[in-house]
Amino acid sequence: MAQNIIYMDNGDTSRIDDETLEYMNHFYTNSYGNPVSLHSLGMEADENLAEARRIIAGTINAEPEEIIFTSGATESNNMAINGIAEYLKNKGNHILISSVEHSSVKAVAHRLKNDGYKIDEIIVDSEGFIDIEDFISKIKVTTILVSVIYANYEIGTIQNIEEIGSICRERNIIFHTDAAQAYGKIKIDVKKENIDLMTFNAHKNHGPKGVGALYIRKGIKLRKLMEGGAHEFNLRPGTENIPALMGFARSAEIAQRDFEANNKILISLRDKLTDGLLKIDHVTFNGPKGTNISKRLPHNVDITFHYIEGEAILMHLSLRGICVSSGSACSSKTLEPSHILTAIGLKHEQAHGSIRFTLSKFNTEEEIDEVIKNVTEVVQILRSMSSFVPEEHSELISKNAKTFYKNKKAGE
């Protein structure tokens, strides 16, 4: 019998909704024309494309012609930052990003730095919120773009996007935000929040992989990065993936329809998981907490387990059928700790001992109980083998680990 899987890595990707998958099948098998073709199936596909654009635009209070479809958030981030840098290079060469951006923003910024652009990073506090005073102090007359992530993919911090956008709008600076984690979890209004460019996608929101969008406010100009056909308002050539785009639209509609109910469930599960894990000795809850908990993504829990490696916890949990992610970049095949966690003040060894749990509407209270139980056991086992545990704690940890192994041997 296959092992039952408890999936708590929805910040990386999520299971597609059954209703969305069933809806997409029609467009693979019956309505499969190319939107640029002039025959009946092509015209039908063009109508479907327009409908998907209309639906998705409506979820963020945008106009349909302000939505450019892409292959996902990474492409959207690259299109936004490279496109503005190229288009406005005669106006200025200074770009501001936060110190907690996704790699698809940071890597582009670093490449542009090698090409002669000036890049500055805005510092954040211990909960991941950008320092507004530091932000304002770093704005120059040559600043052409500011990019600040809407909600952090690791520690769940939701920035005050409206305030950041307002500061940029007053100074005539283009403002981009990566909302890949926020979309579907937070009500977004691009007009009210002074957003000029916004990245978002489908697969973190129970939609299909390989499809995303870039919102471009009317009047904002980007340099086209690829040559080819005149698709996507002559900004992004290539035949649109109609089945995936219709799935994107359907998953967006479902998220809008069930928004209040889903978030109520997610917050309840998140808080239950947090409370259970914080009963383990020597742990730290990373990101917004206490009075700032409402400024945290509803499905995000990030914990540092001191004195042990997060990768070891991850692998032990995986063997038990529990899927999570670590606070080290080991999952991306490097040995560097998460730059998010070091940016909020964690030491390298603390960042390496961190685990992120990201929940979904498919998780249950029973799964939360099972995860708390298994994490507690795994932490005790690993600490019993660790040479970094302070001497005053090692005897208790060793005793608890021996009790666990004895119970397991007895079949308890």
Tens digits of residue pLDDT in 93-152: 999 999 999 999 999 999 999 999 999 999 999 999 999 999 999 999 999 999 999 999
User: How many Cα neighbours within 13 Å face the side chain of 99?
Assistant: 22
- What single letter denotes the amino acid at residue 65? E
SS (H, E, C) 333-373: CCCCECHHHHHCCCCHHHHHCEEEEECCCCCCHHHHHHHHH
Give the pLDDT of residue 166: 98
Instruction: Give the angle subtended at the CA of 289 by the CAs of 286 and 290, to the nearest 5°.
Output: 150
* Cβ 199 vs Cβ 77: under 8 Å: yes
Stretch among 173-177, 197-201, 337-341 having the lowest mean pLDDT: 337-341
Tokens 């309505």: give the residue.
Answer: 31
E strands in 179-281: 197-201, 212-216
- What single letter denotes the amino acid at residue 246? M
DSSP code of residue 379: H
Q: What is the mean pLDDT of residues 72-87?
A: 97
Q: What is the mean pLDDT of residues 328-342?
A: 70
Beta bridge partners of 301: 357
pTM of the predicted model as reported, rounded to 2 decimal places: 0.91
For the chain, the first-to-last Cα distance in angstroms comes to 21
Active site residue 330: yes
Is the pLDDT score of 336 beyond 90? no
- With b for 16 or more beta-carbon neighbours within 10 A and e for fewer, the 367-389 pattern comes to bbebbbebbbbbbbbbbbeeeeb
The CA-atom distances, in angstroms, between 353 and each of 34, 71, 80, 273 are 49, 33, 34, 18
DSSP code of residue 71: S
Q: Considering 84, 213, 330, 382, which one is annotated as catalytic?
A: 330
Quickly count: other Cβ atoms within 10 Å of residue 140's Cβ. 13
Give 372-401 pLDDT, tens digit per residue.
999 999 999 999 987 655 655 444 444 444
* Cβ 186 vs Cβ 158: under 8 Å: yes
Q: Which domains does the chain have, with CATH numbers?
A: 18-256 (3.40.640.10), 259-409 (3.90.1150.10)
* Cβ 195 vs Cβ 161: under 8 Å: yes
